[in-house]
């Protein structure tokens, strides 16, 4: 299964993740969801693996720019799915798929654990 990093290239956290992946020689496809978009199937699959509250970045600028009425409408997976399809920038970044369980966000420790587990599977 291929590993894909979803995000937007000018996001600082995405930049850090991409640098970590390059430094550790990890072959990961980058999917710019602002330019390439996201399908309902992709986001629905994410929501089967993670809670919508993990995927929707309610601390970010995009969320804060939404009207109070629009924010109040996001109360469950279905409403979060519609919001993420309307406005992918509201998704917490980056999303890493295909390297074990779906992962959101980035830290050196987090990616070290993910790819150490991935390396163990390859060796088996």
List 1, 4, 9, 11, catalytic entry: 11
- Is 11 an annotated catalytic residue? yes
Burial 29-46 (b: 16+ CB within 10 A, else e): eebebeeeebeeebbeeb
Dist. CA 12–CA 71, nearest whole Å: 25
Dist. CA 112–CA 91, nearest whole Å: 23
Active site residues: 11
């Amino acid at each position: 299964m291929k590993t894909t990093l979803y995000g937007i290239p000018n996001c600082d956290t995405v930049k850090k993740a991409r640098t970590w992946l390059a430094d550790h020689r990890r072959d990961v496809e980058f999917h710019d969801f602002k330019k390439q978009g996201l399908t309902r199937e992709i986001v629905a699959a994410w929501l089967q693996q993670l809670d919508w509250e993990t995927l929707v970045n309610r601390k970010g600028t995009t969320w804060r720019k939404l009207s109070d009425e629009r924010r109040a409408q996001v109360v469950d997976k279905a409403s979060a799915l519609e919001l993420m399809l309307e406005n992918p920038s509201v998704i917490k970044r980056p999303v890493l798929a295909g390297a074990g369980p779906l992962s959101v966000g980035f830290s050196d420790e987090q990616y070290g654990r993910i790819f150490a587990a991935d390396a163990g599977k390859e060796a088996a």
